[in-house]
Amino acid sequence: MRTQIAAIVATTTLSACSMVPYYTEVKAVADAGIATAVQDRREFNDKKLAVNLAALCDSSIGAVNRYPDVNVREFVDRLCGGDEGISPERLSDVLRTLDQLRARGS
C-alpha cells in the first residue's frame, strides 16, 4: 500500500516533466496502484453492502413495526423478504455468490 501511495505521489509530482529518469516506469507502477486501489475499494463496498443488508434484515419485527416512518417499514419488509428475511444461511449464500462472481471476473 505504501508503494502504491509513493508511486501516486511521484506520478502526481513528476507528471509535468517527462525528462525525469524512469518516468514511464513510475507512471506504470502508479497506474497499476490506482487500478488495484479501485478494485480493492469495490470489493470492500460489495462486502459492506452485504453486511449492511444482513444487519438491516436482522432487525426485530417489533423494532421495524415501531419505526415512525411507514415508508421505511414497508421498504424494510420488501427488502428483507417479508416473512423470510435474511437468515445466516441466506447471507452465506449471498457472500458465496459474490465470491464466485468476483472469481469469474478476475
pLDDT digits (tens, 9 = 90+) for 16-72: 555 566 777 777 777 888 888 888 888 999 888 888 888 887 878 788 888 898 888
Q: What is the pTM of this model?
A: 0.43
Q: Which pLDDT belongs to residue 89?
A: 72
CA distance readout (Å), 31 to 27, 36, 84, 92:
6, 9, 45, 34
In 3D, which of 41, 13, 39, 42 has the Cα closest to residue 27?
Answer: 13
Q: Which pLDDT belongs to residue 10?
A: 59
Boundaries of every domain in the chain: 2-105
